Structure 1
Amino acid sequence: MAGFPFSAVVGQDQLRLALILCAVHPGIGGVLVRGEKGTAKSTVVRALTALLPAVDDAGTTRPARLVELPVGATEDRVIGSIDLEKVLRDGERAFQPGLLAAAHQGVLYVDEVNLLHDHLVDVLLDAAAMGRVHIERDGISHSHPANFVLVGTMNPEEGELRPQLLDRFGLAVDVAASRDVDVRMEVVRRRLDYERDPEAFVARYESADEELAAEILTAREKLDSVELSNRELRRIASLCASFDVDGMRADLVLARTATAHAAWRGDSEVTAEDVRVAAELTLPHRRRRDPFDEPGLDQQQLDDALEQADQDAQSQVEDDARDGEPEPPENPEDHGPDEDRGQEDGGPEDGGPEDEGPDDDGPEDPDGPGGGVRATDRPSAPPAGEFKAKLLEVPGVGEGAPGRRSRSMSPRGRVVRSTRERGHGLHLTSTVFAAAESQVARGRTAGRLRLAPADLRGAIREGREGNLIVFVVDASGSMAARDRLSAVTGAVVSLLRDAYQRRDKVAVITVRGREAELVLPPTSSVDIAVRRLQSMRTGGKSPLAEGFLRAREVVLRERLRDPQRRALVVTLTDGRATGGKDALHRARVAAYLLADASVASIVVDCETGLVRLGLAAELARELRGGYVRLAELSAQQVAGVVRAAA
């Protein structure tokens, strides 16, 4: 069935423009499309291929390709591998190119790019940085060009993208379904018409697509002649500096995008409007310096930055003009001897002491605006003392979803050795070497390699997995001292940031009063966890037993949904279990039950002061897990790995 025409897409103007600009200037680096389900992300991207100019390939001309990279693809399929058929047939080593080679001078499309396995992300980063793919494996050394437009789509609700890969996307666009009734009606009408008769529908928009393709080709040919003046280049540099972006890639991408937009308009010079359009596409995902920052670009901030950039550019133009004129001689009669004396003394016109008003800064209320509230209603203190958390690792080797926390044996990991058992796939080199030893005995003189079942070797692949991290946060009265609670919330935010980077799912349970509340069910969207944490209430008793039992319930329920994902329960408490008769004994029993369910755990001891009861350490022993003090949780202070097992 013919693909949906690009010109037939209703709305999504910014997405369509971003894709067109990348078609005009492939050096921009591709587009990341973020949006909810059912917003035609994939439809628009697939329709782009028909508009791309033809490609010269080994003396022949062919249409540009759209190559789709599945999130579950193996590394061999992506970068290429030994041509097994040729090896077995002719006994010669030959290389079979992968998806990156097929995408050269075309579009590489990754749907749900945020779910792409980390070992494939590393491959994409290398290819995007070098413009080539280098393969050194299985006795083969090979290199080939891989210049492509990288287009990725994702639903932010399913987790964020690794910062390194996020920065590789030149442009980013957030898409959403229109709330305009007429627009929604037209979307449905066109889709139904397309499904009823695809050929007739495509024919209806054929001329519009051909015209659009011709305009893209014209703009691409005009690209090198577009002038980027120093004034606009200064505007671009000032914008990137104003938004405090990392590195220089944003400046380069913004300049390329502005140039492509000018060429698309048919102009021969980049203007301020080109720079503004480019900034709206280039900066939103680069100003997000933290995974918990809100995405997007504040229009008022952009307006202010553009205004400041325009003033800087105008000042520079005036300075350059003055540099070309001789300085007029100073005439001492132009002013009296005493005119400058008042300014030197710091008088009122210079903002001296007479302008200074009284110091209005009085002593701060230690309780803040919430002073006087009951302990059971005390709001959480703002996070403080955030840091790079050390690695908390589940012991042993799992087989869970790819991530960056604990060791795992994975069918898509890196090959570490061969085995005579089945393994994950065929270890080709070891298989060929095992067979080579018996070729004379098997009567081979030339031609095909003679294999026997005993020659086959499996591949042992090792990688990293993501885990389910269940945070049990003691929010009781004993933890509610402002300094301690601020340190604890800062630690939890740091651990959540670490969980984001390591591709974990997280859940948050708070313990206070008479119950343990699951404030956040298991999710991959850890920014939601931070928002829930900021609204956490503190005070009252500390029913730790209920917290452990609730964590056990969450882990066992998740095991039914995802049996391969191992869990780690991280408890932040001072260990002072209260909340009824024999509360500490019940907490120890609940800890024993959690450990008996084979759940890895670690206790972060939040107790402070000269006199320490050591109750948190006792709970860690009952949990048969790890123990670390809050001050030791920072990777800068204590290096190494904290395993959950004692």
Structure 2
Amino acid sequence: MNFLDFTNHEEAKLALILNVIDPLCGGVIFIGERGCGKSTLMRLFAEVLPPDIPWVELPLNATQESLLGGVDFEVSLREGRKIYRKGILARAEGGFLYMDNLNLLPPEILSVVFSTVSASPPPFVPLATMYPEEGELSPHFLERFGMGIFMEGLKVANLRAEIVRKRTICTSSVGLTGLQRLIEQAKGRLSTVTFPSPMEEYIVDLAQEYNMASHRTDLFLFYAARAYAAFLGTKEVQKGHIDKMAPLVFALRSSSSVIIKAKEEIGDKPCGVTAYLEDERQGNAYEISLDRWCEGKGGKELDNWFGDTTRAAVGDSPEEVFEAEGLYELWPFFLGRDGKARPFSGRRGKSRGLMAPGRYVKGVLTGDKDVAVDATIRAAAPYQKRRGRKDRLLICPEDLRYKERERKTGNLFIFVIDASGSMGVHRKMAATKGVLEAMLKDCYRRRDRVAMVVFKKDKAEVVLPPTKVTPLAIKKLQEIPTGGKTPLAAGLWETYKLITREAHKRAKRKSVVVLLTDGKANQAMGEGYVFEELEKICELLIELTETEFMVVDTDPEGQGAAKLAFRLKGRYCPLSSFPMMKNSTSPG
């Protein structure tokens, strides 16, 4: 299958082609769910590029040294002269830098990439994909792309069958040759395309009408409309070209739904590229915005994936749903510093190790290519006279020191919530939800993943698997009802299973279990005694590595939660230790 065989997503194909015609278009990012073809289309696009245009992929484990390049110390020592190695950014110069799963890259790496792109002219064109459920991305980085395309899987049966058919049949590259010829012709026409003054004013008016704050919006729309006119073979930019490009440029920058009527007013000359990029939706309204993904389609899809678990166990027994009560002041969860290299970026605990990126702390004897020049020179300095130094520093392999770095890392917070009937007494669940909401917001600010386990009646269930989508977690929290007995052992058992599953996927991530309960367990999992089950499960939990526990006691008058914190060797916090903000009022 080649680029032209890719089914649908014509705007995505067009956006990529325009960035070949004019690199000033600013690049493209595809945002969508898993399996909708984002990465496939990007890599098929690489086959369209001429051989002289570089295509470089940025790996998720890239370091600042691999990005920028520098002296290859190991080779230089062997050769006796300075040997430089090119960085990833240098190899992409004059071409395209593709970043798959952009939101999984550390912010330090993205800062280097986009500070390089901001040069004039940009040395390369950034291309990227992201799946929002995997993690957040700063709007500062998102706004650096010229165009944004929101992609979703095809729901029509015949189109899905067409995808299967195309993937199983070998196709030739005859069509690509014709497309490459059209692109080269458009690049040749680009400098001759004129941009009338009324059209420049129309761009400014359109940007102001839709509250586009950044001046990049006007510039990206200017370049995109000009490239589109060159692709179609017209000599000057027309209003229809701007209308066609505006949704693609505005998509990443709209704070509310942006609806633009895309009308083609190209004139009598027919579109000469319909054999390659047929736009079946010409003249229809396009609604493209980040809000559409986060609050509309994306939210509903995720809700279906996780299932309506909060209502599944309601049955015929009466239950009550409490709203979160007030706004609470929350002291941060400081986890301290450890000496393990953790590959997960975040803004909470500090971790030391030989990983990069991170702040250089000191030189150590063992490492892998990340040479600490200052420490190496200090190690070699005392032996220069013995080695017969004359003009240049003599360094031996035993002098090499490597950088130990420190970085902030993210964690997995598992909130285990008691939703039994006793939590409804004195509106304890309302206060608990208020504290929990404050904790979730803190996790969002510090880039942690969160999960939720709820136990009530006779069972426990994971109502939210580990995610970084905090609005989804808050939505799930608001829907949790209270009622029934307290199967505390079942809640801890589900937590144990969740931690062990995550350990297989992300072995080096630290987990923090926050248990919110009054400790009044009265429902066993099996035929045995409740507290015998609790003792056994607590023993299993404290044997887990990379796991910390905190018990929030919703009923300080009792002793169950305090005893549980002791068994888990965790921290004990009464719910009253989280004071409400002064301007916050509790309902009713």
TM-score range, shorter chain: 0.7 to 0.9
Kindly provide the amino acid, as one letter, of the partner of residue 431 in structure 1: T
What is the match of residue 161 of structure 1?
137
Paired position in structure 2 for 1:442: 387
Question: What SS class does the counterpart of residue 399 from structure 1 fall into?
Answer: coil
1:378 equivalent in structure 2: 319
In structure 2, give the amino acid aligned to 1:547.
G
- SS where residue 45 of structure 1 aligns? helix
User: What's the secondary structure of 1:559's corresponding residue?
Assistant: helix
Deviation by residue 1:285-325 (Cα, 9 ceiling, x = unmatched)? 44469xxxxxx86789x97999xxxxxxxxxxxxxxxxxxx
Could you list the per-position Cα deviations for residues 449-484 of structure 1 after superposition, in whole angstroms to 9, with x for gaps in the alignment?
543343121221222333222111122234336965
* C-alpha separation in 2, matches of 1:76 and 1:560: 30
By how many angstroms is 1:210 displaced? 0.9
Q: Give the Cα–Cα distance (whole angstroms) in 2 for the partners of residues 591 and 466 of structure 1.
A: 25
Tell me the equivalent position of 1:400: 342
Q: Following the alignment from structure 1 to structure 2, what is the Cα–Cα distance between the partners of residues 209 and 387? A: 59
Match of 1:206 in 2: 177
Aligned residues: 527
Q: Which amino acid aligns with 1:18?
A: A
**Residue 480 (structure 1) aligned to one of 405, 410, 424:** 424
CA contact under 8 A between 1:25 and 1:220: conserved in structure 2? no
Is the Cα–Cα contact under 8 Å of residues 51 and 216 in structure 1 kept in the other structure?
no
User: Are the aligned partners of 1:493 and 1:530 in contact in 2 as well (CA < 8 Å)?
Assistant: yes
CA, structure 1 residues 36+305, in 2 after alignment: closer, same or farther (shift >3 Å)?
A: closer
Alignment of 1:385-534 (within 5 A): 385=326, 391-397=332-338, 398-404=340-346, 405-408=348-351, 409-429=353-373, 430-446=375-391, 450-480=394-424, 485-500=429-444, 502-523=446-467, 528-534=472-478
C-alpha distance after superposition, 1:140-171 (max 9, x if no partner): xxxxx853221112344544434443333332
Kindly provide the amino acid, as one letter, of the partner of residue 81 in structure 1. Answer: G
SS in 1 for 2:454: strand
Q: What is the root-mean-square deviation of aligned Cα atoms in Å?
A: 4.3
Alignment correspondent of 2:30: 33
Letter in 1 for 2:350: R
Deviations, residues 250-276 of structure 1 (Å, cap 9, x unaligned): 5654565455545555363452x5454
CA contact (8 A) 1:399 1:465 kept: no
The equivalent residue for 2:113 is 124
CA contact (8 A) 1:376 1:537 kept: no
Percent of aligned pairs sharing the same letter = 30
Q: C-alpha offsets along residues 586-616 of structure 1, whole Å, 9 cap, x if unaligned?
A: 7688657634545302234545xxx955765
Q: 1:35 to 1:615 in 2, by over 3 A?
A: same
Q: 1:438 to 1:251 in 2, by over 3 A?
A: same
Alignment CA distance shift 1:456-1:557 (3 Å): same
Normalising to structure 2: TM-score of the pair?
Answer: 0.74
In 1, the alpha carbon distance for the partners of 2:578 and 2:229 equals 51
CA distance in 2: counterparts of 1:223 and 1:383, whole angstroms: 58
Superposed CA deviations along residues 405-434 of structure 1, whole A, max 9, x for unmatched, are 322235223252344431354424122442
Q: Distance in 2 between matches of 1:395 and 1:635?
A: 26
Residues 400 and 467 in structure 1, CA contact (< 8 A), matched pair in contact too: no
More displaced 10-residue stretch of structure 1: 485-494 or 113-122: 485-494
Q: Is the 8 A contact 1:226 1:267 kept in 2?
A: no
Asked whether 1:88 is paired with 2:31, we answer: no
Q: Select the residue among 240, 249, 254 that pairs with 1:282.
A: 249
- Structure-1-length-normalised TM-score: 0.68
Gaps of 5+ in 1: 55-61, 133-144, 196-200, 290-295, 307-369, 638-646
State the SS of the aligned residue for 2:98. strand
State whether structure 2 residue 577 is matched by structure 1 residue 601: no
AA at the equivalent of 1:153: T
Aligned to 1:325: none
* DSSP 3-state at the match of 2:108: helix
* Matched-pair contact (CA < 8 Å) for 2:349–2:408: yes
Q: Is the 8 A contact 1:226 1:263 kept in 2?
A: no
Counterpart in the other structure of 1:344: none
Indicate if the aligned counterparts of 1:226 and 1:259 stay in contact, CA closer than 8 A.
no
Label 1:440 to 1:427 Cα distance change in 2 as closer, same or farther (>3 A). same
Q: How does 1:134-153 map to 2 (within 5 A)?
A: 147-153=123-129
* 2:453–2:462 CA contact under 8 A, matched in 1: yes
Q: Distance in 2 between matches of 1:488 and 1:267?
A: 65
- For 1:163 and 1:629, the matched residues in 2 are separated by 37
- The aligned residue for residue 236 of structure 2 is 268
Does the C-alpha gap of structure 1 residues 453 and 99 become closer, same or farther in structure 2, counting only changes over 3 Å?
A: closer
Q: 2:483 aligns with which of 539, 559, 563?
A: 539
Query: Taking structure 1 as reference, are residues 595 and 223 closer, same or farther at Cα in structure 2, changes over 3 Å only?
Result: farther
Pair 1:460–1:160, CA change in 2 (3 A): same
Superposed, which structure 2 residues align to 1:10-25 within 5 Å?
A: 10-25=7-22
Give the superposition deviation at 1:538: 1.7
Distance 1:51 1:561, change over 3 A: closer
1:493: how far off?
4.2
Deviation of the 1:10 alpha carbon: 3.8
Shift of 1:69: 0.8
Distance between the aligned counterparts of 1:192 and 1:374, measured in 2? 48
Contact 1:227 1:268 in 2 (8 A): no
> How many Å separate the matches in 2 of 1:75 and 1:416?
12
